[in-house]
Amino acid sequence: MNSDGDLGAMEKNRNWIILVLFIAAITIRCMMLMMPHSGEGKPPMYGDYEAQRHWMEITNNLPVLDWYKNTADNDLQYWGLDYPPLTAFHSYICGAVGKLCVPEMVELHASRGIETYNTKVFMKLTVLLSDLFVYLPGAYYAVSGVAFSYKHTAVFVDALTLLWLHPCLLLIDHGHFQYNSVSIGLALFAVGAMARHRYLLASVFFTSSFLFKQIALYYAPAFFFGILALCMRDGFFVGVPNVLMTGLVVVGTVAVIFYPWLATLPATDDVGQVLHRMFPFSRGLFEDKVANFWCSVSVAVKFQRIFDLSVMLKVATGCTVVSLLPACLCNFRARYGSGTFVASVVASACSFFLFSFHVHEKSILFPIVMSALVPVAMPKENRQEAAKVVIILTFISLFSMYPLVVKDNLHVLYTSLMLATAAACELTCQSEAWLQLWRGIICVVVACHFIHAAFEPPERLPDLWTMMFTISSFCCFAAATIALTVAQLKCAFDLKYNPKWE
């Protein structure tokens, strides 16, 4: 698929190839239906799987206004809803269908910790169907929008394959068990709309995306500057009404989704309660061990002990903004295609992951899935390099999730995905320098796994092996973000730069 050889046959059969790829993507998801999930067999709290099931139970048995409140029937300590309302509505739909098929799954209180065969199949099917209806179409829409200037099917199919079979997404959504694909799918729809210059549509999609999972706000600065740049393209006075329209659309979307809670205003502060659940700022600088700046640097300098939490909040915000601003501002100098916008989205998400507050290791999903669009959006001479970087970065993201894999007993799925991604990397990195780099990375990865499996960590530093994983991943993520920003700036400001699109 990476060869430029049989051009004619590939073009003719392009639709067939995409169809087969689509079916293969579904089949592979069907094959991993019975993999373990988070918290399996671990009372009393279980894991994310139980959280999702519990939300189906809550939304189907309680009135809407009680969903985010601590009531007698809704104990917020036991996996209280902390995602925005669209997740709640999604859980409601899944639970309603569940009531028809496996009613024991959503019985109020009685269904806690239920882990029967039928309920497990049903839950995994909900993720599969969410992928089918939101994520897969969204990925196609994004790639077809971003790649319009390419005639080569191979480029298109490569990006589509990576998105449709994204190993990190498969591990987290179908293994650990979450619904990130819905949020990312909606964000991909938004990117596709932006590539087609339909910024109002993009606003609707992106608002829905972060109203499904607030982590999607990682993309917000890029969308903000991207839409602003698009509106102002034809001049300031034409731009301002566009901006106002966009604002109205965003507010409208929020209003529609928050309608049940807004309807009770000003009598009660239900909306505030929802927001409070969505943005719990009382948590710490980082949770668990994650491959971002604060956690990695805390080996040497324990920031959270030196400075007060409110100070750290400001510092973290400042670092994030400084990191993402250059890439996002480049949107105002986007000269060709949607490469600049896609790169700014990735840079924004990466910056948030590296520097912001309370980042979860699963949050790497948001930058890394979006990065699959970067090679397709780049001009020809950058495309090969970008493809190599992206696939290696995907491999490392998967690697950084290993501590989660250990917790969830997902070794089989992890090994399978690592092997497949490694094969993809091997196939992509065919030039001398990259092959050496890739082989070096494999050695480090294998060494880390070996040390983790063979030796016990020293008693004074029980998290040493986990830190090994996170720090090595952090170095790669940081390097990639810097490289991306530099490439962005070069593209925007180099006057002699004249990218060729073929």
Residues that bind other proteins (CB under 8 A): 13, 16, 19-20, 23-24, 26-28, 30-36, 117-118, 120-121, 124-125, 128, 409, 412-413, 415-417, 419-420, 422-423, 426-427, 430
Q: How far is the CB of 121 from other proteins (least distance, A)?
A: 5
Place of tokens 């709309």: 193
Residue with smaller CB distance to other proteins, 24 or 299: 24
Q: How far is the CB of 424 from other proteins (least distance, A)?
A: 9
Q: How far is the CB of 54 from other proteins (least distance, A)?
A: 22
Residue with smaller CB distance to other proteins, 28 or 62: 28
The Cα 133–Cα 32 span in angstroms is: 18
Residue with smaller CB distance to other proteins, 27 or 498: 27
Handedness of CA 269, 273, 274, 280 (dihedral sign): positive
| Residues sharing a CB contact under 8 Å with residue 166, sequence separation 6 or more, in sequence order | 368, 369, 372, 394
* Cβ neighbours around 454 below 10 Å, total: 7
Q: How far is the CB of 167 from other proteins (least distance, A)?
A: 10
The Cα 221–Cα 26 span in angstroms is: 33
| Residues sharing a CB contact under 8 Å with residue 6, sequence separation 6 or more, in sequence order | none
Q: How far is the CB of 425 from other proteins (least distance, A)?
A: 10
Q: CA of 447: how far to CAs of 398, 453, 468, 469, in Å?
A: 16, 10, 11, 11
Residue with smaller CB distance to other proteins, 169 or 190: 169
Amino acid at site 201: L
397: Cα separation from own chain's centroid: 11
Residue with smaller CB distance to other proteins, 105 or 278: 105
Residue with smaller CB distance to other proteins, 348 or 416: 416
Q: How far is the CB of 435 from other proteins (least distance, A)?
A: 8
Residue with smaller CB distance to other proteins, 96 or 423: 423
What tokens does 75 get?
A: 């104990």
Which residues does residue 286 pair with via DSSP β-bridges, in sequence order? 359
Classify 359 as helix, strand or coil: strand
Residue with smaller CB distance to other proteins, 35 or 160: 35
DSSP 461: -
Residue with smaller CB distance to other proteins, 28 or 64: 28
Cβ-contact 431, 419 below 8 angstroms: no
Classify 442 as helix, strand or coil: helix
Q: How far is the CB of 32 from other proteins (least distance, A)?
A: 5
DSSP 79: T
Overall residue count recorded for the chain in this entry: 502
Q: How far is the CB of 123 from other proteins (least distance, A)?
A: 11
Count Cβ atoms within 10 A of the Cβ of residue 33 and give its class: 0-12 exposed, 13-18 middle, 19 or more buried. middle
Residue with smaller CB distance to other proteins, 24 or 255: 24
- For 343-374, b/e burial (b = at least 16 CB within 10 A) is bbbbbbbbbbbbbbbbbebbbbbbbbbbbbbb
Residue with smaller CB distance to other proteins, 36 or 221: 36
Residue with smaller CB distance to other proteins, 41 or 462: 41
What tokens does 278 get?
A: 């969505």
Phi/psi of residue 359, each to 5°?
-90, 135
Q: How far is the CB of 468 from other proteins (least distance, A)?
A: 25
- For 271-306, b/e burial (b = at least 16 CB within 10 A) is bebbeebbeeeeeebbeebbbbbbbbebeeeebeee
Q: How far is the CB of 49 from other proteins (least distance, A)?
A: 15
CA dihedral 295, 300, 303, 304 (to 10 degrees): 70
Question: DSSP assignment of 255-293, as one string?
Answer: HHHTHHHHTTTTTS-HHHHHHHHH--TTS-SB-SS-SSH
Q: How far is the CB of 310 from other proteins (least distance, A)?
A: 47
Q: How far is the CB of 7 from other proteins (least distance, A)?
A: 14
